[in-house]
Each structure stands twice: as structure tokens, then as C-alpha cells.
Amino acid sequence: MRLTVVAAAPGYGKTEAVRRRSRQARWCAGESAADFVRTRRWAPQVVLDEPAVSPGELREWLRRTPCEQVTLITRRPFEWEGAEQIGPVELALPAAAVGDEVYRATLGWPALARRWPDHEQYVVSTILPTLSPPARHLVATFARLGPVRRGLCVELGVDPAAIVELTRLGVLVGDRLVPAVAETVRAAGPTPVDHQRAATWYVRNGFPAAAARLLDRLGQHRRLAALLTDRGAEVLVAEPGLFSKHPLLREKAKALSAVHVERAEELFARARYPEALEHADLAVQLDEQDAALRVRGRVLRRLGRLDDALACVRDAADEPVRSPADRTGRTERF
């Protein structure tokens, strides 16, 4: 028996993906799938779509079934030795399909991307209720914090096992919650979280930018100033756009921006435009000086993004660039 497990949170397009690849299979959903399992029916290929049976009951059936190919669609992780696992990584939409802004907020989660920016009700009514209580607790806690780490979960009394569930379902990507989910939870109201303890843990364990955000939010300016004095360079590298305007980081930000401008210029000269844009973006985030804006504008123009180039450097560049709306051969200085 070959088993394929398609596990992800609601809205990742699990059913649609399975329909594309299992056209010949017998399809059973919910109670119908439970009846198929309990009466030990048979089909060469069967899809069990959210079967209304316990994991133990399903495991027992899988051990005995004569079915040749079983596909399980589920909103909960399901482990089975030798099973093919299809999850959020395979189901998420690429940035090119939804646009950069929407992708940054949803990480390609199809249902959230389609509903953006009116996604909040879907998160509250459809996604969160399907999570286990420990997973919901983790989401509510870390929506207001930073990276999700096992050690901090233990420190704050959050079940670290929920990390596995949320990762397998696509609510947690890497060590961060999907931004659209975190934003919705924050907007729903305050949750008791020991920000002080979290900030201290982040400082001690190598996450100074996360600690700085919390100290800034708590209004603990002396602790923030001490942290920035001691580890400001690390904060700038991790969060260049967040604290680069802080008085203690302003000069460091300018110096680091100049480094990225120089690197962007080198890559531009070698026609490595996507890499040049990465450095130009960082330079602008760190310090919106003319040099950073100009190099970013040149890279964007070479990549064919003329409108972005015009918007980026309209007030700073002294190099003439042809406007995409100009049909007469004139150039505009921007």
C-alpha cells in the first residue's frame, strides 16, 4: 500500500492539488470516508478527504487495507513510515503569482493571498479553530514577539511541540509566523505575554533585533540604548529598516549603507542586476541618501521596472532617465 499525506492548514489548496493528480481515485470525504474505513471497503485508489475517524482508527485500517494507493487529505500532521508527504512548501504560490507585497504578508498561502487585504475574518473563523489548543497558544504568544524558538517556548510556558504542528501546517515558516496570521491575532486584542522575559531571552540567545523591538514597545529606553550601544551593528544587519533612524545607530547606518552602495555598484558594473538590487535595497533601508537612491534607480531601470525607478529617485537623482510615459524622446531629470 502506497500512502500520500497532503497536510496543511485550511486554504492551502489541498483538495484542488489532489484532484489534479488523483483523477481515477474513489473520493470519500468526512463521514463517507469514515464509513469507507469502518466497513473495510476496497478500491484500487482511494482519497480520504478529512476522514471523521481518530488517528488510531485510521492507522489500524492502513495496516490492514488491500487498497493499492491511499491519499489522505488532512488539516493535522499525520506520520506514517514511507508515506509521501505533501505540504505547504509544495502548495504555496510563488511570489510571481501574487506580487511581492502580498507574498511578504501571506508567504504564498493561497486563500490568504486571494482574500488580501480582507483576510482577517478567514483567519479567525477558518484557520485558528482548526489548530490544537497548544498551537493556538503559541500563535497568540508569538504574534507579539519575534522568532519562535524552542527555548523561549519553555521560558514562557508554551508547549514547544506545537512548533512541529504549525510548521507542518504552514502557519509557521522557518521561525516566524505567517505575517498575515500574526497581524490578525494582534488586532484581535491583547494576550498576556511577559515581554520583559522574552526580551531578556532574546538578548541572551543572540536575537538583539527582536529584543530591541520589544524594549522599544515597552518604552524601556535606557535598556534599549544600552543594547544598541553594545550590539547595534547586529540590530542593523537583522532589521536595517527598523532602527536605522535611532540616534545611536544613525552613523553606523550611514557607514553600512555606503558599503552596500559600493557593492551594488560593483555588481551593476558586472551586469548582476538582481544581486545589485538586493544591496541597493539594503542601502536605502539603512539610509535614504542620494547615492543609495541613485544606484537603486539605475538597477530598477536596467531590470525594466521604469515606474519603480522613477518613484524611487524622483527627488534625489541627478541623472536623466527616460520616463515610460514619454513618447516624444524627451527625458526627465529625477
Domain match, 44 and 101 both = no
Specify the residue for cell string 500574526.
Answer: 182
At 55, list the grid cell: 488517528
40 burial via Cβ count (<10 Å: 0-12, 13-18, 19+):
exposed
Structural domain contains residue 209: no
DSSP 235-257: HHHH-TTTSTTSTTTHHHHHHHH
Structural domain contains residue 204: no
Structural domain contains residue 211: no
Domain boundary (40, 60, 89) is at 89
198, pLDDT greater than 90: yes
223, pLDDT greater than 60: yes
pLDDT the model gives residue 4: 97
pLDDT the model gives residue 129: 96
Domain match, 105 and 53 both = no
Structural domain contains residue 321: yes
pLDDT tens for each residue of 128-142: 999 999 999 999 999
pLDDT the model gives residue 314: 67
Q: How far apart are CA 206 and CA 195, in angstroms?
A: 16
- Identify whether the C-beta of residue 200 lies closer than 8 Å to the C-beta of residue 218: no
Domain match, 64 and 131 both = no
Mean pLDDT computed over 114-120: 94
Domain match, 179 and 101 both = yes
Query: What amino acid occupies position 59?
Result: R
Residue 1 in 3-state DSSP? coil
pLDDT the model gives residue 321: 43
Specify the residue for cell string 541623472.
Answer: 319
CATH number, domain with residue 85: 3.40.50.300
Structural domain contains residue 242: no
CB neighbour list of residue 206: distance below 8 Å, 6 or more residues apart: none
pLDDT tens for each residue of 140-191: 999 999 999 999 999 999 999 999 999 999 999 999 999 999 999 999 888 8
pLDDT the model gives residue 316: 57
Domain match, 101 and 173 both = yes
Structural domain contains residue 158: yes
- Identify whether the C-beta of residue 26 lies closer than 8 Å to the C-beta of residue 32: no
Return the minimum-mean-pLDDT range out of 148-157, 256-265, 309-318.
Answer: 309-318
pLDDT the model gives residue 328: 40
pLDDT the model gives residue 68: 94
pLDDT the model gives residue 163: 97
Number of structural domains found in the chain: 3
Domain match, 258 and 314 both = yes
Q: Could you tell me the pLDDT band of residue 313, with boundaries at 50, 70 and 90?
A: low
Return the minimum-mean-pLDDT range out of 3-12, 49-58, 120-129, 229-238.
Answer: 229-238
pLDDT tens for each residue of 43-87: 999 999 999 999 999 999 999 999 999 999 999 999 999 999 999
Domain boundary (52, 71, 89) is at 89
90 burial via Cβ count (<10 Å: 0-12, 13-18, 19+):
exposed
**Cis peptide bond prior to 117, omega within 30° of 0:** yes
322, pLDDT greater than 50: no
At 60, list the grid cell: 489500524
Q: Could you tell me the pLDDT band of residue 252, with boundaries at 50, 70 and 90?
A: confident
| Percentage, residues of the chain above pLDDT 70 | 93
pLDDT tens for each residue of 17-48: 999 988 889 999 999 999 999 998 889 999 99
Domain match, 98 and 124 both = yes
Q: Which domain holds residue 256?
A: 250-333
Structural domain contains residue 232: no
Structural domain contains residue 50: yes
Whether the model pTM is above 0.85: no
Q: How far apart are CA 48 and CA 278, in angstroms?
A: 45
Domain match, 19 and 49 both = yes
Domain match, 102 and 67 both = no
Residue 172 in 3-state DSSP? strand
Domain boundary (142, 162, 191) is at 191
Domain match, 101 and 64 both = no
Domain match, 72 and 102 both = no
pLDDT the model gives residue 332: 35
Domain match, 328 and 296 both = yes
